[in-house]
Amino acid sequence: MDCNKRVLRSRTQLSVFTCLFILLKAEESLDDGGGWSLGSDFSLHDEGPCNVDVIDSSSVSYQQFIERYAYNRPVILRGLNDNTKFRFLCSKSSLLQEYGARKVRLSTANTYSYRKVDVPFQEYVDVLLKPQSNNVLGSDTLYFFGDNNFTEWQNLFEHYEPPPYVLPHTSGAYSFGIAGPGTGVPFHWHGPGYSEVIYGRKRWFLYSPDKEPHFHPNHTTLSWLTETYPNLPEEEAPLECTIKPGEVLYFPDRWWHATLNLDTSVFISTFLG
């Protein structure tokens, strides 16, 4: 009997140590950007202003979320879920070990081009995951976001804890991405959804459905930010904010939005359809 107790105690201690190891490694990965920081540590420093509501999820109920934001305006929620384990699994070393040899589908980063390119994930990370210059056209950029084979990536996605506030008569679909500083998608719109940053920082620009922004469909968000944004009259200024790990941005149906990754970023969106 004493022997059984010792075995049980040893197994319990081993389990506790394993959990602690995973948590410590996850914290270590979070501190160093999950290993995604480039050797040059290149990043864009201007996070811009934030004129989107930023609230702690504990201070708003589901009913209040529906009444205030779901159909009216964007909001950034903090403390909405705990994705510590998912962050650990999204570290550079973890993803390359699990998915390095698998093909990923890249898309051109503009509003009207739909060119797709399939490359091994390892090649994308080693060759194409780099800072984007200001003068490159959207049709010449390749962006890893959205076109993931859910079956192949299921082992990763099943560890993601999605935002709990689901709109009535909708269900969520994931889009996962990794991109270098200066990259992003130009203005577009679709149904409602959430976006969470796992590593890095992502700057968002948003306009309501009745306020279409002025932009060139083949120019990147970075070029829009440097050429158009500084000259906007006050009445044409967007709602904007930069979200960081642990923050979730919600955008309502048909809201125009563009994004800009300030660092090498890992992110996941939950589209509600």
Do residues 148 and 266 make contact, with C-beta atoms less than 8 angstroms apart? no
In terms of Cα–Cα distance, which of 160, 189, 155 is closest to 174?
160
In a domain, 174, yes or no: yes
Do residues 110 and 138 make contact, with C-beta atoms less than 8 angstroms apart? yes
Helices and strands (H and E) in the chain: how many: 7, 12
In a domain, 10, yes or no: no
Question: What domain range is 149 assigned to?
Answer: 47-272
In a domain, 89, yes or no: yes
Return the number of other C-beta atoms located less than 10 Å from residue 108's C-beta. 19
> pLDDT value at position 114?
74
Rounded CA gap, 107 and 114, in Å? 7
92-99 and 150-157 helices, crossing angle to 10°: 140
> pLDDT value at position 148?
67
In a domain, 223, yes or no: yes
- Indicate which CATH number applies to the domain containing 72: 2.60.120.650
Sort strands 103-108 and 142-145 into parallel, antiparallel or unpaired.
antiparallel
Calculate what percentage of the chain has a pLDDT beyond 90: 64
Residues whose CB falls within 8 Å of the CB of residue 256, separated by 6 or more in sequence, listed in order:
187, 188, 189, 206, 207, 208, 209, 211, 212, 213
In a domain, 179, yes or no: yes
Strands, sheet with 247-251, edge to edge from the N-terminal-most edge strand = 54-56, 75-78, 247-251, 193-199, 265-272, 172-179, 142-145, 103-108, 116-120
> pLDDT value at position 154?
87
Backbone angles phi, psi at 209, to 5 degrees: -55, -30
Sort strands 54-56 and 75-78 into parallel, antiparallel or unpaired.
parallel
The count of structural domains within the chain is 1
Which regions of the chain are under pLDDT 50? 7-8, 10-30
Alpha carbon of residue 172 to chain centroid: 15
Q: Tell me the pTM.
A: 0.86
Residues whose CB falls within 8 Å of the CB of residue 138, separated by 6 or more in sequence, listed in order:
108, 109, 110, 111, 113, 186, 217, 218, 219, 220
Backbone angles phi, psi at 106, to 5 degrees: -105, 150
In a domain, 34, yes or no: no
> pLDDT value at position 108?
81
> pLDDT value at position 107?
86
In a domain, 11, yes or no: no
> pLDDT value at position 19?
47
In a domain, 265, yes or no: yes
